[in-house]
A and B are shown apart, each in its own frame.
Chain A
Amino acid sequence: MLPLSWGFYTDDVMMANPIKNPNIWAWWIVAAGVLILPLLLGDGYYLNVMNFIALYSIVALGLCLLTGYAGQLSISHSAFFAIGAYSSAIFCLRFNFSPLISVPLSQGISVLAAWGIGAVVLRLKGHYLAIATLSFTIIVGVLIIEMAWLTGGLQGLSSIPPISLGNFLIDSDRRFYFVVWPVTLLLLLFALNLVESRIGRIFRATKESEDITRLFGADVKRYKVKVFILSSVFASLAGSLYAHFVTFISPMTGSIMFAIDIIMVLAFGGFTILWGAMIGAASLTFLNEYLTIFADYKRAIYGLSLIVIMLFFPNGLLQGLKDSAGLLLKLRRRESVKNASSQ
């Protein structure tokens, strides 16, 4: 309809296109770092901590897409973590499936569950949505305890087989590291691509105003359900990997505390930056580890540090550090200009 062949900007766009995106550079650097790290750390404690950081990150990335970008607050990620963990474990223990089959199969179950729940609860907004998803978490928790014939009830399920490739078992920290981190990095890349795409623009627009976004022909309802499914599958995949790594799961695995922990991860790192999810997962896991000396006071210190961050960096640690770095730079520049002019 419009004469779009004027071509003023053709060259400019062509030039601008090759990976100018700083996110992609950052991703390569982090990926290289993560793959080199085990060589420096050696086996043992820190490798184990890194594995948990990866699992936390996957869940947090999913929630970041849903809440940080698309603006839909959900407290159901621990439930999907549990669904992923339990269904994969059940497929292996009760039906003798190989983990290589049970893990993808469990994601299928999570997709169906998330679709069913999402199509209903995403009609709600804000606090109501949060409460509806919280109820789902509680229901899943109750089912896990009550359906003991399937889930082992309060005793949970143990001796879950580790993931294996033929005779090669993914049963050590080091081996699991090289499974979970590549998965995490690929999911991060997927998410980074997604939020910069036409779908990501709809997420961000939806967060601001659903009604206006719909006026531009976007079927917002469908996109909300889709991002809910995607986000839930992130959580459930982390759950499945967790089950085969730790080889023991119990109702504690998908407790509400875990859902809150993940929201805290984002509050720490920043809701609206995917990297924030990674930073948040790392800092909270380390905090968790170092605070074990305080035993029961751990949670209190945890909470206190969150309050401090919320007070000083309401947009999360990452954005906060970024902003203050920018401010410092600006002040310094102003000072040097002042010095230069006074001389």
Chain B
Amino acid sequence: MLHLSEVTKKFSGITALTKVGFRVKAGTIKGIIGPNGAGKTTLFNIITGVFPAGSGSIAFRGEDISRKKPEVIARLGIARTFQQTHLFKSLTVLENVMLGRHYRTKAEFFACGLKLPWARREEKEIRMQSLEYLNLFGLADKKDRIANKLPMGEQRYLEVARALATEPHLLILDEPTAGLNEQERDAFRDMVFKIRDMGITLLVIEHHMKFIMEICDDIMVLNFGVMIAEGSPREIQNSPQVIEAYLGTDEDIDY
């Protein structure tokens, strides 16, 4: 599904990522862990085209995406959520999800401005589908609220709903459980499994160890931009490099 090889990224002299390479198999959940500043979010930004990759290649479903624009990559089927939620505050909860349907729909300026019958039908369809996605996360009765006024847990759900609305092949979650309590986190875990069962591959950054060990088929560990380990959750838990990387910092490990 996704195959990175030797991806390196420098920001004005500082090397954020050094020769990172890994594969994400279709239908699995892959985790990325590592201390703060290890380059995890940078990696996500490179995959989704926010920054171009410095060197190396990224193949998504057999196509090289390392130099492609973010909108092109999104259309190939990669959707993401953000570490700090980025919901549009001038759109309602429902409209945020409807925005996710954008590139799956067609009506352009004139069709929309003139409300041609087929554009009207399409808009109704967008509405209905978006409501289904909201309903999946129990947000349907808050559809007319302003998106960024929701509690943090619901904002995270809304971001996932919006990303799912694009019908992605690969869903990238950047610290999805940050700011959630124990109960919400468990609910989120069940949601992640549900998403996988829809046939969507997931790539997850997470600091919360219990959560990541529970959900992932496969975990990769980054430290200072270098991949130091990769393997099943059990292998990672027992890896001496990983233990050293974590003990060497003030990082909280929530076991």
Residue pair B114, A190 in contact (C-beta under 8 Å): yes
A9 engages B128 (CB within 8 Å): yes
Whole-angstrom CA separation of A198 from B111 in the bound complex: 11
* B102 touches which of A1, A191, A208, A216 (Cβ 8 Å): A216
In the assembled complex, the Cα of A6 lies from the Cα of B135 at a distance in Å of: 10
CB-CB under 8 A from A9, the residues of chain B are 128, 131-132, 135, 140
- Bound CA–CA A217/B99 (angstroms): 10
CA distance A181 to B255 in the complex (A): 69
Please provide the chain B residues from 132 to 148 with a CB less than 8 Å away from any CB of chain A in the complex.
132-133, 135-136, 140
CB within 8 Å for A2 and B86 given contacts A9-B132, A194-B113, A214-B69: no
B250 CB to closest chain A CB (Å) equals 31
Contact with A along B89-103 (1 / 0, CB 8 A): 111000100111111
Q: Contact: B198 with A197, CB < 8 Å?
A: no
Contact A201 B102 (CB under 8 A): yes
Structural contact, B167 and A198, CB atoms closer than 8 A: no
Chain A residue nearest to B195 (CB atoms) is A2
Contact of B74 among A4, A12, A217 (CB under 8 A): A217
Do A217 and B90 contact each other (CB < 8 Å), given the known contacts A13-B128, A193-B114, A201-B102?
no
Chain B: CB-nearest residue to A203: B90
Given A8-B132, A215-B80, check contact A205 B101 (CB 8 Å): no
Using A9-B135, A197-B107 as known contacts, say yes or no to A207 and B90 having CB atoms under 8 A apart: yes
Number of interface residues of A (CB under 8 A): 37
Give A211's nearest chain B residue, CB to CB. Answer: B50
Q: Which residues of B contact A17 (CB under 8 A)?
A: 124
User: Which chain A residue has the least Cβ–Cβ distance from B163?
Assistant: A216
Determine the residue in chain A with the shortest Cβ distance to B116: A193
B-contacting 9-mer, from A112-120, A218-226, A289-297: A218-226
Which chain B residues lie closer than 8 Å to A10 at the CB level? 128
Cβ distance B129 to chain A, nearest Cβ, rounded Å: 6
* A218 and B71 in contact, given A194-B112, A199-B108 (Cβ under 8 angstroms): yes
Q: Which residues of A contact B98 (CB under 8 A)?
A: 198, 201
Please determine whether B109 and A208 come into contact, CB atoms closer than 8 angstroms. Answer: no
Asked if residues A219 and B123 are in contact (CB atoms below 8 Å), the reply is: no
Report whether A199 and B50 are in contact in the complex, using a CB–CB cutoff of 8 Å. no
CB-CB contacts of A1-23 with B at 8 A, as 1s and 0s?
11010101110110001000000
Of chain A, the residue at the smallest CB distance from B135 is A8
Main secondary structure of the interface of A (DSSP, over half): helix
Which of A12, A198, A205, A218 is in CB contact (< 8 Å) with B107?
A198
Bound complex: CA A2 to CA B126 (Å): 14
A216 near B100: Cβ-Cβ < 8 Å: yes
Contact check, B132 vs A6: say whether CB atoms are below 8 A apart: yes
Q: Which residues of A contact B103 (CB under 8 A)?
A: 216-218
Q: B52 within 8 Å of A by Cβ?
A: no
Interface check B115, CB cutoff 8 A: yes
How far, in angstroms, from A209 to B86 measured CA to CA in the complex? 9
Contacting residues, chain A, for B23 (C-beta < 8 A): none
Instruction: Tell me, yes or no, whether B32 is within 8 Å of chain A by CB.
Output: no
Chain A, residue nearest B98 (CB): A201
Question: Are B133 and A205 in contact (CB-based, < 8 A)?
Answer: no
Q: A204 on the interface (CB 8 Å rule)?
A: yes
Q: Which residues of B contact A217 (CB under 8 A)?
A: 71, 74-75, 102-103, 166
Q: Is residue B237 contacting chain A, with contact meaning CB distance below 8 A?
A: no
Q: How far is the CA of A337 from the CA of B128 in the complex (A)?
A: 39
Instruction: Assess the B166–A216 pair: CB atoms within 8 A.
Output: yes
For the complex, give the distance between the alpha carbons of A1 and B197 in Å.
11
In Å, the complex CA distance between A9 and B97 comes to 15
Q: Is B200 on the interface with A (CB-CB < 8 A)?
A: yes
A208 to B69, CA, bound (A): 19
Closest to B112 in A: A197
- Asked whether B88 is an interface residue with its Cβ less than 8 Å from the other chain, the reply is yes
Task: Report yes or no: B99 in contact with A202, Cβ–Cβ below 8 A.
Answer: yes
- The answer to whether residues A197 and B123 also contact, given A1-B198, A190-B113, A215-B80 and a CB cut-off of 8 A, is yes
B159 to chain A, nearest CB (A): 11
Are A204 and B109 in touch, CB under 8 angstroms?
A: no
Q: Does B56 count as interface, using CB distance less than 8 angstroms?
A: no
Q: Give the A-binding residues of B (Cβ under 8 A).
A: 48-50, 69-71, 74-75, 79-80, 82, 86, 88-91, 95, 98-103, 105, 107-109, 112-115, 119, 122-124, 126-129, 131-133, 135-136, 140, 162, 164, 166-167, 198-200
A-B contact sample (19 more), CB < 8 A, given A214-B69, A214-B71: A1-B167, A6-B132, A10-B128, A13-B128, A191-B113, A193-B115, A198-B107, A201-B99, A205-B88, A207-B90, A208-B88, A211-B50, A215-B48, A215-B79, A216-B71, A218-B71, A218-B102, A220-B71, A226-B109
Chain A residues within 8 Å of B, Cβ to Cβ: 1-2, 4, 6, 8-10, 12-13, 17, 190-191, 193-194, 197-202, 204-205, 207-209, 211-220, 226, 230
A-B contact pairs, 12 of them (CB 8 A): A2-B133, A9-B128, A9-B132, A10-B128, A194-B109, A194-B113, A202-B99, A205-B91, A207-B90, A209-B88, A214-B69, A217-B102
